[in-house]
Structure 1
Amino acid sequence: MWVVGIGSGGLDQITVEAVHALQAADYALAAVKSAPAGAEGLPTDPLFARREVLLGRHAPNVELVGVPDPERERSSSSTSTHGDYRGVVLDWHEARAAAWEQAMAERPGDVAIPVWGDPAFYDSTLRILERIRERGRLDLDVQVLPGISALQVLAARHRLVLHEIGGTVTVTTGRRLQEVVAGGVDNVLVMLNSDLPIDDLADWHIWWGGNLGDAGETLVSGRVGEVLPALRAHRERLRDEHGWVMDVYLLRR
């Protein structure tokens, strides 16, 4: 099994090593999520469709097999604390592991799993495969091929060094941003945003990118207090036009 980082959306943001792995697989496997609200006329899962396009370009003889993704609890009452959120995600991992295991048991062979960005950054594929290994039903030899992360693309598009001279950079999620800022950091990369929780950081500077590498790629930079309305408008536009939005940003005090 190859866990293949495929970049943040651009069809050519994939390494030669990753292309060879995709071409060598008997089939590829990916989750299929339900259609987003208000996405009339768009594919059931635009991100699955994007993977199909990528395989068509780099490994046209390899079929992408879709596995319906188990629903995940997202209510605020069930995910209000870090502990609650972690519990919900672990339950979802268990359900996804069972679905993937069944799909692979029905289709023996070498499998490629195309992972958005890089498998090492806020992606659960390796954790799910470890659960399958622990069950002992399938003999998995897992190889990981790194990809171009959204963090790298953000830095390249804005022509940035992500930390100041001799400085540090903290990588976190939108869910934990306020906690990290309260801890005193002053240079933060933020991923996995349900919103932009930066209203009270008006004097900070932001470099933001949405749907990096895709045709809808959008960049904004400036003082948070000046650009925040535009950022929120761009997020909604990307979601409406493409059926999905993935954004990442650097905040600097």
Structure 2
Amino acid sequence: MIELTLIGIGTGNPDHITMQAARAMNAADLILIPRKGESKSDLVDLRRDICAQVLNAPVRIVEFDMPVRDAEGDYARGVHEWHDAIAAVWREQIALHLPGGGRLALLVWGDPSLYDSTLRIAERLPDVKVQVVAGITSLQALTAAHAIPLNPLAGSVTITTGRLLRAHGWPKGADTVVVMLDGGCAFEVLDPAGIAIWWGAYLGMAQEALECGPLVHAAPIIAERRAELRARHGWIMDVYLMRKEQSDG
């Protein structure tokens, strides 16, 4: 029997590791760390650093090359095929390093429940028992960094993606919108009047970057800064929250 523990590790800061996460890491027989190419080598380094700081047991750490998603053609089909390929790599690593069974751990950015596909990939391994250790999400790190509440008074919050925001605009009935997985600046499709934005990139990391203000003024600043940061680091992970003005505060 393989026991797979998906451990939320926050947004790159070792201080985000909970005591439960630390115990789960030290209880594992094997931790798999994905490599996503040279442009995202910082992410591998952060996982290595977390392991170095947290592990006090002789846990094996194995790195593997993450399959690359085909960005051409149908999006949903491409994602499903990518998830199949990742699950196949996991099976190979399990067969190679845990042939007699054992406890496998994967370190998941943020929390496995929020806009992360690790749980869906794990479903492709029906003979594996899965458990989850909750982690700090980029959404939580964003609101903490800006010292703002997630929701307005008695208001609603919608969490969506850049792809959906660009395709459909502001979600109907939403007071506050959190946008994740935005490959560009989808907020540029909105009429900025009456909207405020709080944006953050590399949250919890040494290179953390923050911007906020009325969307009409902040949008071009964020777009320029985002492009500069991506060019400098070769990759970017960011999230933002937008809120419409309300008379009740």
> What is the TM-score when the length of structure 1 is the normalising length?
0.87
* CA-atom RMSD in angstroms: 1.6
* 8 Å contact kept, 2:155–2:175: no
Q: Deviations over 1:14-62 (max 9, x none)?
A: 11000110111112113211223xxxxxxx6321221111111111543
The one of 164, 172, 191 aligned to 1:183: 172
The one of 125, 143, 147 aligned to 1:155: 143
The one of 203, 228, 231 aligned to 1:240: 231
**How far apart are the structure 1 equivalents of 2:204 and 2:107?**
16
**2:174 partner letter:** V
Q: Deviations over 1:210-245 (max 9, x none)?
A: 110000011110011211222123223332333331
* 8 Å contact kept, 1:67–1:100: no
* 8 Å contact kept, 1:46–1:244: no
The equivalent of 2:107 in structure 1 is 114
The equivalent of 2:34 in structure 1 is 31
**How far apart are the structure 2 equivalents of 1:49 and 1:207?**
28
* 8 Å contact kept, 2:31–2:104: yes
The one of 213, 216, 221 aligned to 1:230: 221
* 8 Å contact kept, 1:121–1:149: yes
**How far apart are the structure 2 equivalents of 1:69 and 1:92?**
10
Task: Say whether 1:132 aligns with 2:125.
Answer: yes
**How far apart are the structure 2 equivalents of 1:241 and 1:174?**
22
> What is the TM-score when the length of structure 2 is the normalising length?
0.88
* 8 Å contact kept, 2:158–2:171: no
Task: Say whether 1:168 aligns with 2:156.
Answer: yes
Change (3 A) 1:94 1:156: same
The equivalent of 2:197 in structure 1 is 206
Q: Deviations over 1:184-212 (max 9, x none)?
A: 43310010110111123322110011110
**How far apart are the structure 1 equivalents of 2:81 and 2:163?**
19
> What are structure 2's unaligned runs of at least 5 residues?
245-249
> What are structure 1's unaligned runs of at least 5 residues?
37-43, 79-83, 134-138
Q: Give 1:248 deviation, angstroms.
A: 0.7
98-107 or 53-62: which moved more? 53-62
Change (3 A) 1:64 1:171: same
Q: Give 1:182 deviation, angstroms.
A: 5.4
Task: Say whether 1:59 aligns with 2:55.
Answer: yes
SS of alignment partner, residue 99 of structure 1: helix
* 8 Å contact kept, 2:152–2:175: no
Structure with greater strand percent: 2
| Aligned residues between the structures | 234
**How far apart are the structure 2 equivalents of 1:104 and 1:201?**
50
The equivalent of 1:74 in structure 2 is 71
* 8 Å contact kept, 1:177–1:197: yes
**Identity rate of aligned residues, in percent?**
41
SS of alignment partner, residue 71 of structure 1: coil
SS of alignment partner, residue 31 of structure 2: strand
